[in-house]
Amino acid sequence: KNEVEQSPQNLTAQEGEFITINCSYSVGISALHWLQQHPGGGIVSLFMLSSGKKKHGRLIATINIQEKHSSLHITASHPRDSAVYICAVSPGNQFYFGTGTSLTVIP
Amino acid sequence: KAGVTQTPRYLIKTRGQQVTLSCSPISGHRSVSWYQQTPGQGLQFLFEYFSETQRNKGNFPGRFSGRQFSNSRSEMNVSTLELGDSALYLCASSGRGADGELFFGEGSRLTVL
């Protein structure tokens, strides 16, 4: 049983496209995190959400607590956005992770 | 502000040995959490410490243990290593635990032969 489901698993986009990655979860949570991992690299936290919407530059994250769903949007995608994006949920002091979405942005 | 530091970055062990990994959090952060990442299982939560107390533990056997010191530095130990323990072990620090922003270290890559 997977507490966190992400879609799509793989995504290829042309530079400049609008991208959406989805995350659905089945447990009650206190927070949801969106993480970014570059090949061979460490993990960077993009967003931590408990409600509503957050925006950092070209990245937007939304969460609907009632529907247990979150989305990560990338506007005007760029090749440097190529990475694995991971959704993580926390019911409180522990974490469940999605399997990640591998994004490739082609120039 | 210095980031999260994990040591060693790479290590090779043989089956049956034990290993200790270290994580120094960002100054002022009292929460340290540990994760295992493998190609097959992805990221999995190991445990979380806050002010020297383990607050939660993931679904791993007792061979996996950890501790946190009064300066918030944390160590994890894996005893009686198995081939399946080969993985990237990551730690993250936070000012608040799971409800706060996570700052990850670069990880310790363990290979068990």
pLDDT in tens, B34-69: 999 999 899 999 999 999 999 999 999 999 999 999
Q: What is the mean pLDDT of residues A54-74?
A: 97
* CA–CA separation, A81 and B38 (whole Å): 22
A88 at the B interface (CB within 8 A)?
yes
User: Buried b / exposed e across A82-99, counting CB within 10 Å, b at 16+?
Assistant: bbbbbbbbbbbbbbbbbb
Provide the percentage of residues in chain B whose pLDDT is more than 70: 98
> Is the model's pLDDT at B102 over the cut of 80?
yes
Q: Chain A residue with minimal CA distance to B97?
A: A93
* Token code pair at residue A51: 């409600």
Q: Which residues, other chains included, contact A11 with Cβ-Cβ below 8 Å and sequence gap of 6+?
A: A19, A21, A101, A102, A103, A104
Which residue in the set A42, A48, A86 is minimally distant from B105, CB to CB? A42
Widest Cα–Cα separation across chain A: 40
Provide the percentage of residues in chain A whose pLDDT is more than 90: 87
A27 at the B interface (CB within 8 A)?
no
Question: B58 contacts in A (CB within 8 Å)?
Answer: 94
Task: Give the CA angle between residues A74, A60, B42 to the nearest 5°.
Answer: 70
